[in-house]
Structure 1
Amino acid sequence: MCKKMSYDSNNTRGGKRIMRYVVIGASASGISGAKTLRELDENAEIILISKDEYIYSRCILHHFISGVRTVEQLNFSEDDFINKYNINWKKGVEVLKLNSKDKNLELSNGEILSYDKVLICSGASSFIPPVENLREANNVVGLRNFDDAEKIVEVGKKAKSAVVLGAGLVGIDAISGLMNYDLELSLVEMGDRILPIQLDKYAAKEYEKRFEEKGVNLKLGVMAKKLIVDENNNPKALLLNTGEEIPCELVIVATGVRSNIGFLENSGVECDKFGLLISPEGKTNIEDVYGAGDVTGRNPIWPTAVKEGIIAASNMIGFNKKMTDFFGSKNTMNFVGLATLSLGTVNLKDEEKEDYIIDIKTDETGYKKIIHKDGKIYGAIIQGDLSYAGVLTQLIKENINVSKVKKSIFEIDYSDFFNIKENLEYDYK
């Protein structure tokens, strides 16, 4: 795409000063941000810094654990991405400090790297809760990066038992990745069902039945009290608050994440208890410092991270774009042969239920639930046949009012809200 360019110590080429953009992090937002920067400024120097030595999707790390994909097959970027977009990638390097006054970064390799503008996409790391021995023991790992996945494979092949703490998406990914190992598998969740954020009880129960049929020992509505270890500090069993002990030689912790913002301490860049604070334009409170993705601790969804990276990079170049697509959360999942779409608000509090209409349909194709009010859809679950997902997504994306449609909300099709105008252009009713 772009020819190679050389830069002198004053960051000039041919006597003309060029911009130096630094992107911290090589996941969804960082890669989309770096690509956008190059597309909008072919002359800029673009430096990508990452602790990771590979570009990979964290969403499919369980495919590496299960042996379905190699690390190369986890790569979500274009072939030869780094060379194609003429990016200087400093891989295996960590940013230790950001000095906003001097506009430079202190790196783990000892380098002091100056920048004109910087995009923070440093993501998040697994949070290990303060359960006795859990933080100190061997073979306790999260599932957030490739090193975690490699460790799980290494220990999983030798161990006889494993426990996954947390039954959110990451926990279910971990269980799915380990199901073809010769392990006694247990899943511990303090909520009353698996995937408590994404699913209601009915949809969750369908997965629970299938996981139990596959031999997974589900422990719901319980908490980990202590990790019992041997004389070498290796896990032996997990003690629950019920008094039950679950055998485990490997523990995968999927109880939450914490934003990677430690290097921003004393930088002047504002953060809160969730993570980095950014505007809809991806700007922080410090000029020329931008952010995107999971480092904000909000809406940790892959498409959102990609969009945030694009928008922040566009504004770094000088465009004026805003992030407006924050509709709840959207997850499409396919575990143990069962596909599900979860969109927006899927569980209402008891005091909220009388304010909304909840339509439910179950038949041979699966389960559908749509939550709406005054013609606007606020959330939905579709499990089994996902063919209605496209229509549903358009209804929400285009903010279509469905109150005037007389047929069942489960039978709406494109003809109910999609028109062809006289000039043959498409529009929405």
Structure 2
Amino acid sequence: MNKHYVIIGNSAAGIFAADAIRERDQEGLITVISEETQDAYSRCLTTYYVSGYTDRERMMLRPSDYYETQSINFLRGLKVTKIDAPSKQVILSSGVRVSYDTLLIASGASPRLMDIPDAKPGDVHVMRTMKDADALIKKISNGQKRVCVLGAGLVSLKTASALAEHGLDITIVVTSQHILSQQFDSEGADILYRHLKNNGVRFLFGLSASRVLHDSLGAVSGVELNDGSVVSCDFIFMGKGVNPNTSFIPEDVARIQSDWIEVDDHMKTSVPDIYAAGDCVMAKDKLFGGSRSYALWPNATEQGQIAGANMAGSPVAYEGALSMNSLQFFGLHAICGGDGRGSEAGSFAVILSEPERNQYRKFVFQNRKLTGFILIGKTKNAGVLMQRLGKELSPEECHSLLDHGVIAEISVK
């Protein structure tokens, strides 16, 4: 009898798992379940879609006949409400039960929404799906010009940059004292902040939203901050991280920090025949060990491939996840990888900083091994650096990668 593989999720981890399964098993049944109705697309490109740099067709991950040619049963627009592990069945919102031999949970994550007093449904926008992007495009097409952005992480700033391409008036409210506090150190973040500010983006630091204001027709008119000041706006965007979509998983599936699914080196969960991959899991950290959540596209695709291979009977071990983020604001490019902030104990950094030229390069080491980097301005060697993370890097190689004759500063922690 042919094996039945069921995959919950139709994004990076799910699609790459389906490919890995089909490469190894041409006869097995594959069912993919997704809350969305669209074919698989790249979530990485949603802000480029909002800015107008790409369109829906170019966002698609696979050809339009992919599910048919790969003999994949695609159940669209259906939510998984429960997994009945003893009977090996997935229960859908429609009441239908789907039996499986092996199951992959690749359900991803959803934007984390902070409660704001007086906020009504639809007042606060997020960025995760095509539907989210379409909602922002509708705001732009309706002529709404002022946006208050809550949070200054990657998603917030990428979305703000996309909206700025349409000439919107943008105010970003930052709870901390510098932007991108989870990815960049303060010196690198300051270069990016000044560049954004010089291009018309307004920042308010050390503040948070206390309530949403509405006009006489009930439409958003502003956000009152915790110091009593008001940011006038036509709509609100929030980027405060993500939460894994794991509310439906069995209690027997081991979790980390209550929400993220725990997996082993083969992407197996604690329940037999159930695997997990992508943004809903905490997987092994390649550099420092332990389990961490890196909600990043490259990690999700690799974890999906590993999970799919193991589900189809080909033992493949996962080496671990790496952190890597790239961004581009108004022509200025920046990439950080690994522990670019140098936050791990015992790390030291080699830094070359030229803020007047919007250039900053930082290498972080632990015991002679490269454990992180930040590149702002000149980013052409980022691929090489990602390959060298966790490996020894000589001072000569540092000089070569910097394309500079002198290391301007060495700081030791």
Structure 1 SS opposite 2:23: helix
Matched length: 387
Structure 1 equivalent of residue 288 of structure 2: none
The alpha carbon displacement at 1:251 in A equals 1.1
Structure 2 equivalent of residue 342 of structure 1: 336
Q: Within 5 Å, which residues of 2 pair with 1:40-51?
A: 40-51=24-35
Structure 2 SS opposite 1:314: helix
Alignment partner of 1:410 out of 392, 396, 399: 399
1:356 equivalent to 2:351? Answer no
TM-score by length of 1: 0.85
Structure 2 equivalent of residue 313 of structure 1: 308
1:372 equivalent to 2:357? Answer no
Q: Within 5 Å, which residues of 2 pair with 1:264-279?
A: 264=249, 266=250, 268-272=252-256, 273-279=258-264
Structure 1 equivalent of residue 327 of structure 2: 333
Once the two structures are superposed, residues 92-132 of structure 1 have per-residue CA deviations (whole angstroms, 9 ceiling, x without a partner) of 11112111111111212332211111111011111211221
Once the two structures are superposed, residues 216-272 of structure 1 have per-residue CA deviations (whole angstroms, 9 ceiling, x without a partner) of 2112222112112345543211111222100122111111211111222x5533334
Structure 1 equivalent of residue 19 of structure 2: 35
1:150 equivalent to 2:131? Answer no
**CA distance change for structure 1 residues 126 and 400 in 2, over 3 Å: closer, same or farther?**
closer
CA distance in 1, matches of 2:97, 2:397: 62
Instruction: Answer yes or no: is the 8 Å Cα contact 1:96–1:107 preserved in 2.
Output: yes
1:160 equivalent to 2:145? Answer yes
Alignment partner of 1:97 out of 78, 82, 88: 82
Q: CA RMSD in A?
A: 2.1
**CA distance change for structure 1 residues 109 and 193 in 2, over 3 Å: closer, same or farther?**
same
**CA distance change for structure 1 residues 269 and 394 in 2, over 3 Å: closer, same or farther?**
closer
CA distance in 2, matches of 1:77, 1:188: 38
CA distance in 1, matches of 2:332, 2:192: 8
> What percent of counterpart residues are identical?
29
Structure 2 SS opposite 1:113: strand
1:333 counterpart letter in structure 2: L
The alpha carbon displacement at 1:412 in A equals 5.6
The alpha carbon displacement at 1:195 in A equals 1.3
CA distance in 1, matches of 2:66, 2:54: 19
Structure 2 SS opposite 1:92: coil
Which has the larger Rg? 1
The alpha carbon displacement at 1:323 in A equals 1.5
1:390 equivalent to 2:383? Answer yes
Structure 2 equivalent of residue 401 of structure 1: 392
The alpha carbon displacement at 1:22 in A equals 0.7
Instruction: Answer yes or no: is the 8 Å Cα contact 2:191–2:358 preserved in 1.
Output: no
TM-score by length of 2: 0.88
Instruction: Answer yes or no: is the 8 Å Cα contact 1:164–1:174 preserved in 2.
Output: no
1:307 counterpart letter in structure 2: E
Structure 2 equivalent of residue 172 of structure 1: 157
The alpha carbon displacement at 1:285 in A equals 1.3
The alpha carbon displacement at 1:157 in A equals 2.7
Instruction: Answer yes or no: is the 8 Å Cα contact 2:161–2:329 preserved in 1.
Output: yes
2:204 counterpart letter in structure 1: K
CA distance in 2, matches of 1:304, 1:216: 31
2:84 counterpart letter in structure 1: N
The alpha carbon displacement at 1:291 in A equals 0.5
**CA distance change for structure 1 residues 214 and 19 in 2, over 3 Å: closer, same or farther?**
same
Structure 2 SS opposite 1:88: strand
Structure 2 SS opposite 1:212: helix
Structure 1 equivalent of residue 54 of structure 2: 69
Structure 1 equivalent of residue 194 of structure 2: 209
Which residues of structure 1 form unaligned runs of 5+? 1-16, 414-429
The alpha carbon displacement at 1:60 in A equals 1.4
Structure 2 SS opposite 1:192: coil
Instruction: Answer yes or no: is the 8 Å Cα contact 1:95–1:108 preserved in 2.
Output: yes
**CA distance change for structure 1 residues 151 and 406 in 2, over 3 Å: closer, same or farther?**
closer
Alignment partner of 1:138 out of 112, 117, 122: 122
Structure 1 equivalent of residue 317 of structure 2: 322
Q: Within 5 Å, which residues of 2 pair with 1:102-141?
A: 102-134=87-119, 136-141=120-125
CA distance in 1, matches of 2:358, 2:381: 11
Instruction: Answer yes or no: is the 8 Å Cα contact 1:99–1:267 preserved in 2.
Output: no
